[in-house]
Amino acid sequence: MSVRKNPILRETSHLLIPAILLFALYVQFHGDYGPGGGFQAGVIFASGIILYALLHGTKRAEKVISLNLAKTFAAIGLLLYAGIGVFGILLGGNYLDYNVLTQNPVHGQHWGILIIELGVGITVAAVIISIFYAFAKFKK
Amino acid sequence: MLAITAIAIIAMRNILSVIMLGGIYSLISATLFVVLDAVDVAFTEAAVGAGISTVLFLSALGITGKHQVLARKNHLVPIFVVLVTGAGLIYSTSDMPAFGDPNAPAHNHVAPRYIEQSGEEIGIPNMVTSVLASYRGFDTLGEVAVVFTALIAVLLLLGLNRGSRQDKS
Q: Is the pLDDT of residue A124 over 60?
A: yes
The shortest C-alpha distance from B149 to chain A (Å) reads 9
Q: Is the pLDDT of residue A73 over 90?
A: yes
A58 — contact with chain B (CB < 8 Å)?
Answer: no
**CB atoms B140 and A136 under 8 Å:** no
Model ipTM over 0.90: no
C-alpha to C-alpha distance for A45 and A17, rounded to whole angstroms? 9
Q: In the structure, what pLDDT confidence band is assigned to residue A20 with cuts at 50, 70 and 90?
A: very high
Give the residue from chain B lying closest to A121, CA to CA: B144
pLDDT of residue B68: 65
**CB atoms B148 and A74 under 8 Å:** yes
C-alpha to C-alpha distance for A114 and B102, rounded to whole angstroms? 32
Q: Do A58 and A133 touch, CB atoms closer than 8 A?
A: yes
Mutation pick from B26, B41, B43 vs chain A, by most beta carbons of A within 10 Å, is B43
Per DSSP, the three-state class of A19 is helix
More confident position, B102 or A2? B102
pLDDT of residue B103: 78
pLDDT of residue B66: 66
Mutation pick from A29, A39, A76, A95 vs chain B, by most beta carbons of B within 10 Å, is A39
pLDDT of residue B67: 67
The shortest C-alpha distance from B25 to chain A (Å) reads 19
pLDDT of residue B169: 38
Give the residue from chain B lying closest to A70, CA to CA: B151
List the one residue out of A43, A48, A15, A49 whose CA is nearest residue A28.
A43
Angle at which helices B53-63 and A105-136 pack, to 10 degrees? 20
Q: Collect all residues of chain B within an 8 Å Cβ-Cβ radius of residue A37.
A: 40, 128-129, 132-133
Q: In the structure, what pLDDT confidence band is assigned to residue A2 with cuts at 50, 70 and 90?
A: low
**CB atoms B124 and A109 under 8 Å:** yes
Which of B48, B59, B60 minimises the CB distance to A43? B48
CA distances in angstroms from B79 to A103, B5, B9, B90, B92, listed in the order given: 61, 19, 17, 16, 20
In SS3 terms, chain B reads as CHHHHHHHHHHCCEHHHHHHHHHHHHHHHHHHHHHCCCHHHHHHHHHHHHHHHHHHHHHHHHHCCCECCCCCCCCHHHHHHHHHHHHHHHHHHCCCCCCCCCCCHHHCCCHHHHHHHHHHHCCCCCHHHHHHHHHCHHHHHHHHHHHHHHHHHHHHHHCCCHHHHHHHC
Domain ranges of chain A: 2-136
Backbone angles phi, psi at B99, to 5 degrees: -65, 125
The shortest C-alpha distance from A78 to chain B (Å) reads 7
Predicted TM-score of the model (pTM) = 0.82
Q: In the structure, what pLDDT confidence band is assigned to residue A77 with cuts at 50, 70 and 90?
A: very high
Q: Do B46 and B27 touch, CB atoms closer than 8 A?
A: yes
pLDDT of residue B136: 83
Residues A31-72 have pLDDT tens digits of: 778 787 888 899 999 999 998 988 888 888 888 888 889 999
pLDDT along chain B (169 residues), means of 10: 82 84 90 89 88 87 72 79 93 83 77 77 78 84 92 84 47
Residues A88-117 have pLDDT tens digits of: 888 887 887 888 777 888 888 888 888 888
A 87-126 → B contacts, CB under 8 A: 96, 98, 105-106, 109-110, 112-113, 116-117, 119-120, 123-124, 126
Mutation pick from A16, A26, A32 vs chain B, by most beta carbons of B within 10 Å, is A32
The shortest C-alpha distance from B78 to chain A (Å) reads 31
